[in-house]
Amino acid sequence: MPKTAVVIGAGVAGLAAAIRLSAKGYDVTVFEANAHAGGKLHAKEIDGYRFDLGPSLFTMPWLVTELFELHGKNPEAYFTYSRKQTVCNYFWEDGTSFSMPSDPKKFIESAASCFGEDPMALESYMSQNKKKYDRTRTLFLENSLHKLGTYISKDTLKALFAIRSMGINTTLYGYHKKVFRSKKLVQLFNRYATYNGSSPYKTPGIMSMIPHLEMALGTYFPHGGMHSITLALQQLALDVGVRFKFEHLVDSIVVEKGTAIGIHCKGKEYLANFVASTMDVYPTYKKLLPKQWHPEKVLRQERSSSALIFYWGVAKTFPQLDLHNILFSEDYRTEFDYLFQKKSIYKDPTVYINITGKENPKDAPKGHENWFVMINAPANYGQDWGQLKELARVAILKKITKVLKVDITLHITSEFTLDPIGIEKTTSSYRGALYGAASNSKFSAFLRHPNFSSKIKNLYFCGGSVHPGGGIPLCLLSAKIVGNLIPEATT
C-alpha cells in the first residue's frame, strides 16, 4: 500500500507542501474549507476590473519554479514572470517623491541625490544587509530552528557568533537612525518592518536584511497577476496526482497513542501516515486538537498587524504611479503606536496603492485603473470595524488628495473592502493577523511555533503562522522545511 499524507489548507504553503510530499512518493490529499485554492492569494473580478485580493509583492520566484523542477516539469509551461525595474514609488506630503530603482548602483545614485545622503553610507548599508542575509538565511529561513542538527553546521555557528554585530540588540529604527541623516530615508527603510507585520520601533535591527530581498534579489510581476501563482501551483499539484477536497472543513486531527493518524471531516475519518497543517497554528490547536497539550506561551504571543483594504475601480489613469506605491504618514511613530498599543487606526495612515493594470492592462477597462489600496491595521480585538473603516476611508482619501493633488472620490466607479474580520473568516488567520505572531522582539524568531510537533508524532506545520514566518517566500520555505523533515515514502 502506498504511504499517504494529508495536508490541511490549500493556501500557498499547503500547495507547496502537497507538491513536495508528492515528489517524495506520498499519495497526497489536500482538505480546504473554501471552494478554491490559494488562501489569501486569491482574486476577484467586478465591473470589468480584476483585483488580486491578498499578497501583492512577489520576490524570490525560484522558490516557486523549483516546485515544478522537483517533478521534472518546465515552469514556463505553467507560470511566467518578469523582473521590475522600479521597486516602488514613494511619496511625502511636502511634494518629495522617490522612484526606487531595482539596480543597486542606480539606487545609490538616486537616493544620494534625492535625500542628500552619502553614497558610501548607502553602499555600506546595502553591503551589510547582504551579509546579514547570507549569514543567517540557513539558520533563520532554510532549516528548522528547533532541530539540534541545525546548530552544528558551520554556517549556523558563524551566524550565531556574528549575530550581535547584526543589530539584534537595537530596533530597526535605532539602527537606521545611526546609518542615515535623512529622516525620509529612515522612514523608507523602516517600512520593511511591516513585511512581517511588526513595528520598526520594536522589531530588531537585524530585520534590515529584508530590503536585500527586494533591492538585490529583485521584485517581480507574475504575468496574469499574483493569483496566477495559485493557479499554476494548483495545476501542477493536479498534474502530479494530488487530490483536492474543497468545501471540506476539517473537524479534528485524529491522534492515537501520541501519533497523528489522520483527520476527521464531514463525519468521515481519513487515515494518513503524516498530517501537515497549514492552518494558522492557533485554531489548529484550539479547534483541531482540543484535547491535546497546547503550547500556550506560543499561542499567547502578540499578533502581527492585519490590513484594511479598499479595492477601487478608478476611471482615470495616473502616470506618476507604478505597480507599487507608498504615500507616507507624517508621523510614523504615532501610526505604529496606534497599531500595536491602542489597537486602532491613526488619522494619518501610510497608504499603499497596488495597481496591477500598470503591468497587465487587461486588469482594468481602457482609461481606468484597478487600485488595491491598503493600510496597516491592528489585529481584530473586537473593535468597531464599521466605524474604523469609515474613518480610514476618509483619512486615505485625504492623503491621496494631498499627495496626488486629485480628488479621487470623483473617479471611483467600483468599490469593495476587506477588513481583519473578513481575513480571519476566509483564511482562519487568528484575529485576522497576516503573519501570525508579531516580530516585535529579538527573540521572536525563536518563539515562533516549530514546523513539527514535539508532542505528537507525524504531525507537521507550515504556513505564515509558524517558522520561518509570513509572506509568500517564507510560506514556501516553511513547506520546504516540512518536506525535508518528512522522510521519503517507502512501499
Q: Are residues 264 and 295 in the same domain?
A: yes
- Cell numbers at 352, concatenated: 499603499
Q: Would you state the pLDDT for residue 161?
A: 52
Q: Are residues 295 and 444 in the same domain?
A: yes
Whether the predicted pLDDT of 390 surpasses 90 = yes
Q: 156: pLDDT confidence band, cut at 50, 70 and 90?
A: low
Residue 446 CB neighbours (<10 A): 11
List of residues 6+ apart from 163 with CB closer than 8 A = 136, 206
Angle at 373 between CA 212 and CA 331, to 5 degrees: 70
Q: Would you state the pLDDT for residue 134?
A: 82
Q: Would you state the pLDDT for residue 175?
A: 94
Domain count, the chain: 2
Q: Would you state the pLDDT for residue 247?
A: 98
In a domain, 89, yes or no: no
Q: What CA–CA distance (Å, rounded) separates 324 from 40?
A: 18
Domain membership of residue 156 as a residue range? 120-217
Q: Are residues 443 and 297 in the same domain?
A: yes
Q: 147: pLDDT confidence band, cut at 50, 70 and 90?
A: low
Give tens-digit pLDDT for 168-225. 789 999 999 999 999 999 999 999 999 989 999 999 988 888 888 888 889 999 999 9
Give tens-digit pLDDT for 49-82. 999 999 999 999 999 999 999 999 999 999 999 9
Lowest mean pLDDT among 181-195, 206-220, 304-318, 403-417: 206-220
Dihedral sign for Cα 473, 474, 476, 477, please.
positive
The CATH number assigned to the domain holding 262 equals 3.50.50.60
Calculate what percentage of the chain has a pLDDT beyond 70: 93
Q: Are residues 21 and 170 in the same domain?
A: no
In a domain, 212, yes or no: yes
Whether the predicted pLDDT of 480 surpasses 90 = yes
Q: What is the mean pLDDT of the chain?
A: 93
Q: Angle at which helices 12-23 and 62-70 pack, to 10 degrees? A: 30
Q: What CA–CA distance (Å, rounded) separates 219 from 209?
A: 15
Q: Would you state the pLDDT for residue 151?
A: 45
In a domain, 408, yes or no: no
In a domain, 365, yes or no: no
Q: Are residues 204 and 160 in the same domain?
A: yes
Q: Are residues 152 and 199 in the same domain?
A: yes
In a domain, 416, yes or no: no
Calculate what percentage of the chain has a pLDDT beyond 90: 85
Give tens-digit pLDDT for 106-134. 999 999 999 999 999 999 999 999 888 88
Q: Containing H/E element for 324? A: strand 324-327
Q: Are residues 274 and 203 in the same domain?
A: no
Whether the predicted pLDDT of 136 surpasses 80 = no
Dihedral sign for Cα 35, 38, 39, 42, please.
negative
Whether the predicted pLDDT of 372 surpasses 80 = yes
In a domain, 410, yes or no: no
Whether the predicted pLDDT of 141 surpasses 90 = no
Q: What CA–CA distance (Å, rounded) separates 290 from 82?
A: 45
Q: Are residues 229 and 202 in the same domain?
A: no
Query: Could you tell me the CA-to-CA distances from 96 to 121, 183, 307, 347 in Å, in that order?
Result: 21, 12, 26, 21
Q: Are residues 241 and 184 in the same domain?
A: no
Whether the predicted pLDDT of 245 surpasses 70 = yes
The CATH number assigned to the domain holding 145 equals 1.10.405
Q: Are residues 137 and 187 in the same domain?
A: yes
Q: Are residues 236 and 190 in the same domain?
A: no
Last residue of a domain, one of 177, 192, 217: 217
Q: Would you state the pLDDT for residue 244?
A: 98
Last residue of a domain, one of 192, 217, 242: 217
Last residue of a domain, one of 162, 185, 217: 217
Q: Are residues 247 and 190 in the same domain?
A: no
Whether the predicted pLDDT of 412 surpasses 90 = yes
Q: Which residues of 121-146 are buried (b: 16+ CB within 10 A; e: fewer)?
A: bbeebbebbbebbebbbbbbbebbbe
Q: Would you state the pLDDT for residue 85?
A: 95
Residue 48 CB neighbours (<10 A): 15
In a domain, 314, yes or no: no
Give tens-digit pLDDT for 425-467. 999 999 999 999 998 886 676 678 999 999 999 999 999 999 9
In a domain, 423, yes or no: no
